[in-house]
Amino acid sequence: MSSQVMPDEQNIQLRARLICSFKPVRKGQLQADANEEVTIISVKAGYATCQRSESSEVGQIPTWYLEMVECPGDTFADQISYRRKWYAIVDDMNSSTLLLEKNNADCFVRDLPIMPELTNFAQVLKIGSLVGV
C-alpha cells in the first residue's frame, strides 16, 4: 500500500489540467471537464485529491487524467527540478526514491542492470538501428 504524498512536503503548489473529461464512478470523486485546471492537494494510490480552481469543491481524480499546467522557475535547472518533483508526486513515487535520484547519473546507475534487457528487446523489435544497437 502506498503512502500519501503531500505536495507541500516539497514546498511547491501543484497545479494540473485535465487532459480529458472525468465523470465520477465512486463517492468522493470530482467531476471535471477537459482542460479544467485544479490544484493538487495530495496523491495516493493513483488518485489525486484536487480542488477546483473556480470553487472550493474537493474530490479525487485519477492521476492519469492530469497534466502539468506550468513549469515555474527562474532558471532551466529550477524548471527541471520542479518537473521532476511534479512527476514524482503525481506518479506517486516513494519520496525516498526521489531523494536518491537527484540527477541523470543516479538514474542511469540505478537502471544499469536492465540495460541489456532493453537492448535485447530493441533487437527483437528490429529497431536496433534506431537506438544504435
Average pLDDT over residues 4-26: 75
Question: Is it the case that residue 99 has pLDDT exceeding 90?
Answer: no
More confident site: 116 or 133: 116
What is the value of pTM for the model shown?
Answer: 0.59
46: left (phi over 0), alpha (psi -120 to 50) or beta: left
Phi, psi (deg, nearest 5) at residue 52: -60, 145
Q: Which domains does the chain have, with CATH numbers?
A: 7-99 (2.30.30.40), 103-133 (no CATH)
Q: What's the mean per-residue pLDDT of the chain?
A: 75
pLDDT digits (tens, 9 = 90+) for 62-83: 999 999 888 888 888 888 888 8
Quote the CA–CA distance of 62 and 69 in Å, as a whole number. Answer: 16
The residue with cell 527562474 is 74
- pLDDT band at 121, cuts 50/70/90? low
